[in-house]
Amino acid sequence: MIQIVFNDISASELSQLPTQVQFHLLEALNIQPADIDDAILAKRYGVLERGSKKLYRCRAGDHRIYFAIVDGNVRVHRVLHKNTLTDFLFRSNLPGGGEDEALSQSKNFWHLIDEGAKTLKVA
């Protein structure tokens, strides 16, 4: 069984959404134990890499879930509205190459991810 772990920031972002949207997001994430493979995850989700860090992006309606696989479990770093990222890319004036590539190269994006990771409390 796979455990989905939210840090404080991603849990707060999710809890601010209407219940139906929350269910839609979790349904879209739907990762089974057999799916915990880089090749399978890369086919289903966007992939962002920086150094040794690898994040996956799950698109679900107007929202994006940024997560990593750690010890066979899903760790959700951020839950963001798609326009947040569009605005972020526009304001940052990032070069082309696709949204995943642009985000992978952005220090500001990784700061958002690191900020959430600092709040993670795993027992």
> Which structural domains are found in the chain, ordered by start?
4-117 (3.30.2310.20)
What pTM value is reported for the model? Answer: 0.72
Q: In what order do the strands lie in the sheet with 73-81?
A: 4-6, 73-81, 63-70, 53-60, 46-50
Per residue of the chain (123 residues), what is the pLDDT tens digit? 789 999 898 999 899 999 999 999 999 998 999 999 989 999 999 888 878 888 898 989 999 899 999 988 999 998 888 887 665 664 565 555 566 777 777 777 788 778 777 776 655
- Residue 110 amino acid letter: W
> In the numeric block, which tokens belong to residue 122?
């795993």
